[in-house]
């Protein structure tokens, strides 16, 4: 009987599903999935290295004692300007403070500010783009004209203007960077909502009488969020640069807080005799930014294939 139904469905051009008992399918194979995952990462050593770098930075931010037990604010004047060695991996600064400890503990301040900035831009920009794309009409026009104005201002200049109005401090720097990145999230979210809003399943949900908030929460938002999450990963790297730039200019936490940008600013006066004071914190920033960008590109390629 099942064979007759399959033949009838094939003749009518209807999709047919083979009988699991006849096809011998046993469901997903965990061992096979593990092998495919290992093969995926084996072909991408740069991605594996990037993930390891990000994990190290995250651990340093939330548990700096894992990497260094030294006090980042305590200095030994007799040990000032020591070059990198086994005793001090990154050397010491002008006050004899261990630079490695300061870079490790500075990850906490810089990463916290970056997470706050990206989260702020993600939430506010995502809401603006969602409302503009879903509601449309004059609401879309008003929101997108505001977004166009924000995009016309260079990000760093806008961040400087906002942080000057708010004042100094790590949290205020994070808010300033987040405000400057709102427009990018709003544009991406709006574009995805406009694409999903005209999909067949959304029209079908409206046709059966689903309320607007049900359509928005169950169909539009879940199918629009993936590219915005990829953008958040990509913006994480640029936000680290922006936060470090504002700290370098003196808008971050006051001394002796070891923010990454502040460390580079403190060492720029000693480039001739203590290059490590700027080079090694700068290397930490560059490695973190490059690693997050590599992860973001991998996520973007997976989202496109999906």
Three-class SS state of 98: strand
Question: 89: which residues sit within 8 A by CB, 6+ positions away?
Answer: 100
Three-class SS state of 92: strand
Mind giving me the DSSP string for 1-50?
-HHHHHHHHHHHT------HHHHT-----HHHHHHHHHHHHHT-HHHHHH
Q: Is domain 113-256+297-305 classified as CATH 3.40.50.300?
A: no
pLDDT at res. 182 = 92
Asked if 212 and 230 count as a contact pair (C-beta separation under 8 A), the reply is no
pLDDT at res. 23 = 45
Structure tokens at 71: 């006090």
pLDDT at res. 124 = 93
pLDDT at res. 306 = 58
pLDDT at res. 305 = 61
- What backbone torsions phi and psi does residue 297 show, to the nearest 5 degrees? -65, -40
pLDDT at res. 8 = 41
pLDDT at res. 26 = 55
Asked if 172 and 166 count as a contact pair (C-beta separation under 8 A), the reply is yes
Question: 7: which residues sit within 8 A by CB, 6+ positions away?
Answer: none
pLDDT at res. 280 = 92
pTM for the complete prediction? 0.78
Mean pLDDT by 10 residues, the chain (306 residues): 43 45 53 72 80 91 86 84 87 88 90 91 91 84 89 86 86 90 90 82 72 74 83 87 89 84 88 89 92 84 64
């Amino acid at each position: 009987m099942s064979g007759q139904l399959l033949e009838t469905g094939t003749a009518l051009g209807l999709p047919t599903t083979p009988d699991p008992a006849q096809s011998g399918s046993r469901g997903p194979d965990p061992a096979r999935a593990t092998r495919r995952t290992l093969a995926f990462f084996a072909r991408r050593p740069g991605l594996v290295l990037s993930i390891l770098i990000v994990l190290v930075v995250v651990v340093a931010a939330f548990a700096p004692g894992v990497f260094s037990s030294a006090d980042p604010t305590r200095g030994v004047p007799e040990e000032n300007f020591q070059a990198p060695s086994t005793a001090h991996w990154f050397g010491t600064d002008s006050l004899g403070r261990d630079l490695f400890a300061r870079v490790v503990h500075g990850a906490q301040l810089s990463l916290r500010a970056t997470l706050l900035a990206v989260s702020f831009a993600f939430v506010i920009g995502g809401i603006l783009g969602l409302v503009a794309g879903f509601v449309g009409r004059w609401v879309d026009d008003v929101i997108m004209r505001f977004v166009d104005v924000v995009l016309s201002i260079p990000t760093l200049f806008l961040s400087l203007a906002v942080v000057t109005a708010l004042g100094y401090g790590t949290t205020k720097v994070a808010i300033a960077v987040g405000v400057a990145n709102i427009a990018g999230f709003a544009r991406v979210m709006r574009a995805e909502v406009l694409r999903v809003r005209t999909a067949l399943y959304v029209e079908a949900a409206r046709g059966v009488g689903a309320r607007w908030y049900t359509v928005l929460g169950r169909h539009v938002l879940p199918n629009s969020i993936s590219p915005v999450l990829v953008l958040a990963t990509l913006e994480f790297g640029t936000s680290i640069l922006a936060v470090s730039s504002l700290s370098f200019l003196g808008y971050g936490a006051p001394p002796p807080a070891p923010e990454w940008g502040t460390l580079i600013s403190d060492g720029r006066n000693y480039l001739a005799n203590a290059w490590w004071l700027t080079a090694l914190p700068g290397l930490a920033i560059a490695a973190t930014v490059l690693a997050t960008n590599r992860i973001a590109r991998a996520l973007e390629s997976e989202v496109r294939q999906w």
